[in-house]
Homo-oligomer: A and B are copies of this chain.
Amino acid sequence: MQQRLAAAGLRATHQRILILESLLVLPGHPTAEQVHRQVMANTPTVSLGTVYKTLDSFVEVGLTKRVASADAQCRRYDSDCSEHHHLYCTDTKEIIDYCNPQLDALIRDFFAKQGLENFQPHSFSLHIAGTRVS
* Interface set of A (CB-CB < 8 Å, partner B): 59, 65-71, 75, 87, 89-90, 96, 98, 102-103, 106-107, 110-111, 114, 116, 118-134
Contacts and interface: CB of A to CB of B under 8 A. Distances in A.
A127 B129 contact: no
A119 B131 contact: yes
A14 to B, nearest CB: 27
Contact of A128 (B89, B119, B133): B119
Copies of this protein, total: 2
A130 B131 CA distance: 29
Given A66-B71, A68-B69, A70-B65, A118 B133 contact: yes
Contacts of A111: 128
Contacts of A70: 65-68
20 contacts: A69-B69, A71-B75, A87-B119, A87-B121, A89-B119, A98-B116, A103-B110, A118-B133, A119-B130, A119-B132, A120-B130, A120-B132, A120-B133, A121-B129, A122-B129, A122-B131, A124-B127, A124-B128, A125-B126, A127-B127
